[in-house]
Amino acid sequence: MSFGSYPTTRPRRNRQDGFTRRLVAEHRLSTDDLIWPIFFTEGTAQETEVASMPGVRRVSLDRLEAHVAPAAKLGIPALALFPVTPVDQRDAEGTQSGNPDNLMCRAARLLKSAFPDIGLIGDVALDPYTDHGHDGLLRGDVIVNDESVAVLVRQSLNQAEAGIDILAPSDMMDGRIGAIRQALDAHGHADVRLMSYAAKYASAFYGPFRDALGSGGFLKGDKKTYQMDPANSDEALREVALDLAEGADMVMVKPGMPYLDIIRRVRERFAVPTFAYQVSGEYAMIMAAANNGWIDRDRAMMESLLAFKRAGCDGILTYFALDAARQLQAR
Ligand code: PBG
Q: 85-120, pLDDT tens digit by residue?
A: 999 999 999 999 999 999 999 999 999 999 999 999
Q: CA neighbours within 13 Å on the CB side: how many for 219?
A: 19
- Does a structural domain hold residue 86? yes
Residues in the chain: 331
Pocket test for ligand 1, best of 172, 206, 220 (most atoms within 8 A of CB): 206
> Which pLDDT score is estimated for 213?
84
> Which pLDDT score is estimated for 267?
98
pLDDT of 310 over the 90 cut: yes
- Does a structural domain hold residue 2? no
Pocket test for ligand 1, best of 123, 127, 277 (most atoms within 8 A of CB): 127
pTM over 0.95: yes
81 lines ligand 1 (CB under 6 A): no
- Does a structural domain hold residue 88? yes
What is the atom index within ligand 1 of the atom nearest the CA of 219?
10
- Residues with a catalytic annotation lie at 200, 254
pLDDT of 225 over the 70 cut: yes
Q: CA neighbours within 13 Å on the CB side: how many for 69?
A: 6
**pLDDT band at 1; cut points 50, 70, 90:** low
Q: Rounded to whole angstroms, what are the CA distances from 25 to 31, 272, 306?
A: 17, 23, 11
SS3 content of the chain, % helix, strand, coil (to 5): 45, 20, 35
Mean pLDDT of all residues belonging to the chain: 97
Q: Rounded to whole angstroms, what are the CA distances from 145 to 129, 135, 136, 175, 250?
A: 17, 10, 7, 9, 22
279 lines ligand 1 (CB under 6 A): yes
- Does a structural domain hold residue 78? yes
- Does a structural domain hold residue 217? yes
Task: Please report the beta strands in the chain, taking only residues with DSSP state E, as ranges in sequence order.
Answer: 34-41, 47-49, 57-60, 78-83, 119-124, 137-139, 142-144, 166-169, 193-200, 250-254, 274-278, 315-318
For 282-297, the pLDDT digits (tens) are 999 999 999 999 999 9
Give the C-alpha separation, 139 to 92, whole Å: 10
Closest protein CA for atom 6 of ligand 1: 170
125 lines ligand 1 (CB under 6 A): yes
Give residue 285's domain range: 27-330
- Does a structural domain hold residue 19? no
Closest protein CA for atom 12 of ligand 1: 279
Pocket test for ligand 1, best of 126, 129, 209, 253 (most atoms within 8 A of CB): 209
Q: How many domains does the structure of the chain reveal? A: 1
280 lines ligand 1 (CB under 6 A): yes
**pLDDT band at 253; cut points 50, 70, 90:** very high
CATH number reported for the structural domain that contains residue 131 in this entry: 3.20.20.70
> Which pLDDT score is estimated for 158?
98
- Does a structural domain hold residue 287? yes
**pLDDT band at 215; cut points 50, 70, 90:** confident
- Do 129 and 85 form a contact (C-beta atoms < 8 A)? yes
- Does a structural domain hold residue 8? no
- Do 205 and 279 form a contact (C-beta atoms < 8 A)? yes
Q: How far is the CA of 29 from the centre of ligand 1 (A)?
A: 24
